[in-house]
Amino acid sequence: MQIQIHEQLDETLIAEIRSYLQGHADADAVSSDHDPRWMSVLKNALDHRTFVIIARDENQLVGYLPLELVSSRLFGRFLVSLPYLNLAGLVADDETTKEALLDEASDLARVHDVQYMELRHGEGVTHDNLTQQRDEKVRMVLDLPTDSDALWSNLKAKVRNQIRKGDKFDLSMHWGGLDIVDDFYNVFAINMRDLGTPVYPRNLFTEILRTFPETAELGIVRHEGQAIAGALLIHDPLRTSGGITQVPSASTLRQFNHTNANMWMYHHLLCRAIERGAGRFDFGRSSEDSGTYRFKKQWGALPIPTVWQYHVRRGDINAVRPDSPKYKRRIETWQKLPVWVTRLVGPSIVRGIP
């Protein structure tokens, strides 16, 4: 077996990795987050150094582990698979290959002197160096029917009533890409400020839209001509039908909560996923019984475990998490800043958060 590390991926290697992922025997171990094109997106938008570890047996690809080096003076150094995404950990044909890839990744962590390596898995893997994990959050995933009428019939009466309230405010849904990225980002940046969270850079979304032109799109909700809600949809780039549509980023302006724009938008997101041939809709991760968990559950989504595993070399895996108590005062301060300040400063901060 040969283990190789690539920092640059050419079109031939990208195609080979995609073919390997699409034909993998364990389809549940592969997600759209594994698409190797994400590596250039994150590198270009977040200024991360990328490492793709692959295993070959008789020149055939038998394992794949994407990693990005997240580094900043403020937080430190980390290897992550992958930032911004929820499910981009190890994919391999057998246990021997998994161990070989993890040995190489552990050595990479040592060479670059990271505090820890974080592997974002659906199911955990076994390795002596993976000594800690976080599994308190679950992915909320909805099995989609074949048409929007069936979706409507499956919704509870309370959910349908909230969607109908949105109809009364004459909301309109607009789909696009780079042409509406400014509208999306304006809403997104305001919402992130209100949450007390540093905002991702605008070019993260432009990179996603340029890299996945066939499967990434933005949806914008307008009220009286103003963009009041927006979402990024990623339709499965590794499966032509029956795949998973995910919504990695979505926001609504709080002053328009009375319009039920968020509920109205999510109904349209689900209908769009059905229209695009998706078999499931991934609402993203939530802590059980949290507000976001209950929001997703009302649509019929069911929890699927996630296991984020850690090779810790020093420090605490919870130290840079936004929900750490030590950040409470900073979050409150951030919420009071003008949006233009958060848009200016936020991207340089979030680049360093694993």
Q: What pLDDT score was predicted for residue 89? A: 92
Q: What pLDDT score was predicted for residue 241? A: 72
Q: Do domains 2-135+307-320 and 139-305 have the same CATH topology?
A: yes
Provide the whole-model pTM.
0.94
**Where does residue 222 fall: left (phi above 0), alpha (psi -120 to 50 degrees), or beta otherwise?**
beta
CATH of 139-305, one of 3.40.630.30, 3.40.50.11540, 3.40.720.10, 2.40.160.210: 3.40.630.30
Written out in words, the top-level CATH class of the domain with range 2-135+307-320 is alpha beta
Is the alpha carbon torsion for 310, 315, 318, 319 positive or negative? negative
pLDDT at 279 over 90: yes
| SS3 category, 178 | helix
* pLDDT interval class at 323 (50, 70, 90): low
Q: What is the average per-residue pLDDT within 183-199?
A: 95
The answer to whether 274 and 310 have CB atoms below 8 angstroms apart is: no
Alpha helices (H) in the chain, listed in sequence order: 11-22, 38-46, 95-111, 148-154, 157-167, 181-195, 202-211, 261-275, 291-297, 328-334, 339-350
pLDDT at 2 over 80: yes
Task: Give residue for tokens 């780079």.
Answer: 178
Q: Between these two residues, 311 and 289, which has the higher pLDDT value? A: 311
The answer to whether 283 and 296 have CB atoms below 8 angstroms apart is: yes
Helix (H) or strand (E) holding 252: strand 244-252
pLDDT digits (tens, 9 = 90+) for 59-87: 999 999 999 999 998 889 999 999 999 99
Q: What is the average per-residue pLDDT within 23-32?
A: 82
Task: Give residue for tokens 């979050």.
Answer: 331
pLDDT at 233 over 80: yes
Tell me the HSE value of 215 on the side-chain side, using a 13 A CA sphere: 22
Partners of 57 in the β-ladder:
60
Q: What pLDDT score was predicted for residue 322? A: 67
Q: What pLDDT score was predicted for residue 156? A: 95
- What mean pLDDT is reported for the chain? 93
The answer to whether 311 and 106 have CB atoms below 8 angstroms apart is: yes
**Separation of alpha carbons 315 and 293, rounded Å:** 30
What does the DSSP assignment read for 5-16? EESS--HHHHHH
Helix (H) or strand (E) holding 76: strand 76-81
- Cβ-in-10-Å burial (0-12, 13-18, 19+) of 241 comes to exposed
Q: What pLDDT score was predicted for residue 68? A: 97
pLDDT digits (tens, 9 = 90+) for 140-157: 999 999 999 999 999 999
**Separation of alpha carbons 16 and 308, rounded Å:** 27
Pairing of strands 244-252, 280-287: parallel
pLDDT at 34 over 70: yes
Q: What pLDDT score was predicted for residue 330? A: 82
Q: What is the average per-residue pLDDT within 280-308?
A: 94
Q: What is the average per-residue pLDDT within 129-139?
A: 94
Pairing of strands 132-134, 137-143: unpaired
pLDDT at 325 over 90: no
- Cβ-in-10-Å burial (0-12, 13-18, 19+) of 343 comes to buried
Q: What pLDDT score was predicted for residue 324? A: 64
Q: What pLDDT score was predicted for residue 320? A: 76
Q: What pLDDT score was predicted for residue 329? A: 82
CB under 8 Å to 282, separation ≥6 — which residues? 139, 140, 141, 244, 245, 246, 247
The answer to whether 223 and 202 have CB atoms below 8 angstroms apart is: no
Q: Between these two residues, 30 and 228, which has the higher pLDDT value? A: 228
Q: Between these two residues, 26 and 231, which has the higher pLDDT value? A: 231
pLDDT at 100 over 90: yes
Task: Give residue for tokens 């003076």.
Answer: 73
Please give the DSSP secondary-structure letter assigned to residue 73.
Answer: T
Partners of 71 in the β-ladder:
77
* pLDDT interval class at 53 (50, 70, 90): very high
**Separation of alpha carbons 180 and 187, rounded Å:** 11
Domain boundaries, the chain: 2-135+307-320, 139-305
Token duo for residue 6: 């690539």
pLDDT at 326 over 70: no
